[in-house]
């Protein structure tokens, strides 16, 4: 077990930078999309199940914490050009997600301008803080959170397509999910570099983060419990989905055995929508 907090490893930086350049080149070539031109806004369905619109609002709320996500992580990864440049591009992509989801809530008639203004005011009453105190814990957290976010959006799209559906929402959620998957992939490759460099230290961070994972921000909102319950009720995301479709696939893709994830100490806490894994 390492005693001092992990620091950014300079010798990994050239590889990290190459990962960023590949990520960026791919994004420019294959993933750019326009909120204005690429979503069939005239096909919004005003009669969509209100439970779907409630969850769109919750995901929009999570995306609206963007100023906290970017401003808190950048000082932590400041010495890494690969990661700081990544976050600059990432912030642009994440900003589109809240804009697109907010536009859908208005154009579909699910929310009014006043309701959206209320939501934004609520967001600024509380500040999100980094859930882990070191750069490597945050790298692992980002890898897991992006995979979980991809899954949340994909499952919401599939739920939304049941019944009479909404082509605008489907298209929007497809674009957003592809972005989240690309974010996950970048962070996963970064974690791979750290695993090769320091397996014991990286596994320690993986245990801390992955055995007690919670999605960001939602649980801290005044109505967070209700929002999380809605997500579970529609079977979009819960502990079992996390274990089956996030936790195990990540371990498999990194070549980490479940035995290596056994906690040395019992888990101290579980967030409201936290996931404690029995190891």
Cα 176 from Cα 153, distance rounded (Å): 7
Nearer to Fe ion, 97 or 208 (CB): 97
Q: Which two tokens stand for residue 256?
A: 């980490």
Query: With respect to Fe ion, which residue has the nearer C-beta, 99 or 261?
Result: 99
Report d(CA 209, CA 203) in Å as an integer. 10
Q: Which residues contact 150 (CB under 8 A, 6 or more apart)?
A: 177, 180, 181, 184
Over the window 129 to 148, marking each residue x when it contacts Fe ion by CB under 5 A and - when it does not, the resulting string is: -----------------x--
Residue selected from 57, 68, 180, 204 as contacting Fe ion according to rule CB under 5 A: 180
Q: Is residue 212 at the binding interface for Fe ion, with CB under 5 A as the rule? A: no
Nearer to Fe ion, 49 or 89 (CB): 89
Query: Phi, psi (5° rounding) for residue 193?
Result: -60, -45
- The pairs formed by 244-247 with CB atoms below 8 angstroms and a separation of 24 or more are 245/151, 246/144, 246/147, 246/148, 246/151, 246/213, 247/144, 247/210, 247/213, 247/277
Min CB(151)–Fe ion separation in Å: 12
**Minimum CB distance to Fe ion, residue 102 (Å):** 13
Segment 181-210, which members bind Fe ion (CB under 5 A)?
183
Residues 77 and 8 sit within 8 Å (Cβ to Cβ): yes
The reply on whether position 94 binds Fe ion by CB under 5 A is yes
Establish if 154 lies at the interface with Fe ion (CB under 5 A). Answer: no
Contact region for Fe ion (CB under 5 A) — 92-100, 107-115, 123-131, 132-140?
92-100
- Tell me how far, at minimum, the Cβ of 258 lies from Fe ion, in Å: 26
Instruction: For residue 194, give both structure tokens.
Output: 């750290």
Task: Note whether 68 binds Fe ion by CB under 5 A.
Answer: no
Q: Which of 53, 56, 61, 97 binds Fe ion (CB under 5 A)?
A: 97
Backbone angles phi, psi at 278, to 5 degrees: -75, 120
CA distance 68 to 90: 13
How many amino acids of this chain bind Fe ion (CB under 5 A)? 5
56 vs 39: CA distance, rounded Å: 16
Token reading at 42 = 């005239």
Listed ranges 93-101, 122-130, 187-195, 237-245: which one lies at the site for Fe ion (CB under 5 A): 93-101
57 touches Fe ion (CB under 5 A) = no
Q: Give me the least distance between CB of 198 and Fe ion, in Å please.
A: 26
As measured in angstroms, the least distance from the Cβ of 213 to Fe ion is 15
* Interface contacts to Fe ion, rule CB under 5 A: 94, 97, 146, 180, 183
């Amino acid at each position: 077990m390492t005693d001092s907090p992990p620091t950014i490893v300079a010798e990994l930086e050239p590889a990290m930078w190459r990962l960023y350049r590949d990520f960026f080149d791919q994004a420019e070539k294959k993933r750019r999309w326009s909120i204005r031109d690429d979503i069939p806004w005239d096909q919004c369905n005003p009669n969509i199940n209100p439970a779907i619109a409630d969850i769109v609002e919750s995901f929009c709320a999570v995306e609206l914490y963007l100023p906290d996500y970017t401003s808190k992580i950048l000082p932590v990864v400041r010495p890494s050009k690969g990661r700081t440049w990544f976050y600059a591009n990432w912030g642009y992509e994440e900003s589109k997600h809240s804009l697109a989801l907010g536009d859908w809530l208005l154009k579909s008639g699910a929310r009014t301008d006043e309701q959206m203004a209320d939501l934004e005011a609520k967001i600024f009453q509380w500040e999100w803080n980094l859930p882990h105190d070191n750069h490597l814990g945050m790298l692992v957290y980002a890898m897991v959170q992006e995979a979980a976010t991809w899954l949340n959006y994909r499952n919401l799209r599939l739920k939304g397509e049941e019944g009479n559906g909404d082509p605008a929402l489907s298209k929007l959620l497809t674009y957003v999910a592809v972005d989240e998957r690309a974010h996950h992939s970048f962070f996963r490759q970064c974690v791979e570099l750290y695993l090769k460099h320091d397996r014991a230290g990286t596994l320690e961070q993986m245990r801390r983060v992955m055995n007690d994972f919670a999605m960001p921000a939602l649980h801290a909102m005044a109505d967070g419990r209700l929002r999380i319950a809605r997500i579970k009720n529609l079977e979009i995301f819960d502990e079992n989905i996390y274990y089956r479709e996030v936790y195990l696939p990540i371990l498999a893709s990194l070549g980490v055995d479940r035995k290596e994830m056994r906690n040395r100490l019992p888990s101290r806490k579980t967030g409201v929508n936290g996931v404690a894994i029995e190891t």
